[in-house]
Chains A and B, each alone.
Chain A
């Protein structure tokens, strides 16, 4: 079916989506910018929450630009933030490197830091700076809060001063489905002897391991695999950087390689084509799906403003701001899960140290 066009924009079943419009006719009344929801006047009403962000959030700078925020988890300098924004991927060397960053808490600058642990399921990274006497964020007793509740997170920052970004809880908490965050970087189809590789992505672990189109995988990480789901079920339990043994047939010969699994965005995989709603949203987070549970807010942030705590009016964190999904939807990891992930990451570090 062809859709009729009316002077440049389609009126069709698909355009039930909102029609875009940036030019505005001569209006009779307009509210000054500072009085708007994102304006400085309204911001001023959130001074108490801003002070919490000043003390207990981290601003993460790449050069002169703040690119991410974080939540102070301990007085001695553990900070949780959004993992997938922390890395650069080098096309030439095919290497993933941590970005050159500077971390600012209040007005104190820290250039010496380590990314000490990651949780790929929740897209959280644990950073350690050498510090003493920081004020950790206070977590709310529960993330079960009514829709329409005010929430506050980090807005744009200067090196001296944190600012707020405000909104409300805007929909039911729920899981956000999406592609697996860890990938081998191949297309797979069923084959009578296992699963056949249909194609290999450039930059993927599969390509580096020498896997090719037509190879038939019959064992994956020591398990016999008969279908695609069996392979994905193994990948689901892995972290980026984990290595798996892949046994496969090529020209009737059985071969074995070790292959590294990579985060989806490192493997050059990644973004689905932009939907109509994406096109009207501006930039959004690299990773904005595949979360077991999130709170949804209407905070109209920039995609470089994620990672910080999500505060209620009492200044307690109900979550950690994890993604800008569209112009009208942002997600946060609920406070229970943030604390659980933090405890597990710390436990992992301690057991590794022993």
Chain B
């Protein structure tokens, strides 16, 4: 198992080398802890007083941070996100939202569920936005407003905390908090030693004031390699992501390819529509319950009389899209929603 992980990681490592050229070089500086900037970075190592101060700040800001941290569910998987506006704008990772215009479910800390849709994403840095579509006033957190890496208020060595729905939503457990320091900073990635695991992806990294400074992206084999997308990366692509743009050709999300979706049936023309003559057991039609002999009457609300009618609709579909079919099965008409896969 370890071998496989290594192989995968090497591939991604190469990808990252490609995607993180043009690094910004910064002077390593220390600042004094103060009421305005309680990052406890003024001494090389903390003392007993600092430990108490760190604990106090964390406990003071944890409740609001946690209220705004959500579980994002789609298909069979789940990740994490964080609400950054009262009307329910959520920041997450591109490999969590996995595309533009996807229907998602948002689970709040107390288990309340809301409908949401994925907005734009940046596939090279793993940044993405999701909008909760249920109207309401949502708890939210402040974002570090630094527009570039050198304008960000967090510095190397600052104490930070992470939240995430590790392994999926668990109401008894709640979201999980971890404490650490910023241990590496680069232009489009920051690394902390807040330990992350699957399900945390897309979750928030906060400074000790409870201000959002990053979004969880990926981990390495050792415990202090936990990578986050810095918030300035979101600021750089903010408007485009809000306008549902799929940015870049990166590793973290794959652009939909028109026409690569697959229903998984063979059909012949009959009087009522298209009769199913064969079914691919692994594909979308079989999973939705379509059987040999069923007759397809409509697709996405359009009447189907010729094979070409269905082909026309499928040309605009891609892997992961939905397809609504009306089916005549014996005497019975049923409406089915298929989740299309790739060929």
Contact = CB atoms under 8 A, between A and B. Distances in A.
A145 B225 CA distance: 29
B139 interface: no
Contacts of B197: 17-18, 277, 280-281, 326-329
Contacts of B195: 298, 300, 327-328
B137 interface: no
Contacts of B166: 277, 326, 328-329
Interface stretch (A25-33, A181-189, A248-256): A25-33
Contacts of B282: 1-2
Contact of A2 (B26, B179, B341): B341
B186 interface: yes
Among A148, A171, A172: residue with most chain B CB under 10 A = A148
B45 A22 contact: no
Contacts of B194: 298
Interface of B: 1-2, 4-17, 20, 23-26, 28, 44-48, 50-52, 54-55, 58-59, 62, 72, 74-79, 95-96, 98, 156-157, 161, 166-167, 172-187, 189, 191, 193-202, 216-225, 227, 251-254, 282, 284, 287, 319, 339, 341-342
Contacts of A27: 23, 184-186, 191
Given A17-B198, A27-B23, A175-B172, 10 more contacts: A16-B201, A16-B202, A21-B12, A24-B184, A31-B182, A45-B45, A171-B173, A298-B194, A313-B48, A329-B176
A353 interface: no
Contacts of B319: 4
A279 interface: yes
A148 B341 CA distance: 43
A292 interface: no
B253 A11 contact: yes
A23 interface: yes
Interface of A: 1-2, 4, 6-9, 11-31, 34-38, 41-42, 44-46, 48, 146-150, 167-168, 170-172, 174-175, 274, 276-277, 279-282, 296, 298, 300, 313, 326-329
Contacts of B287: 1
B143 to A, nearest CB: 21
A242 to B, nearest CB: 31
Q: Which 5 A-B pairs have the closest CB atoms?
A: A23-B13, A17-B198, A13-B75, A8-B11, A41-B45
A7 B11 contact: yes
Contact of A174 (B5, B173, B223): B173
Contacts of B251: 6-7, 9, 11
A41 B43 CA distance: 10
Contacts of B12: 7-9, 19-21, 23
B183 A36 contact: yes
B6 A22 contact: yes
B218 A328 contact: no
Given A4-B254, A18-B219, A168 B178 contact: yes
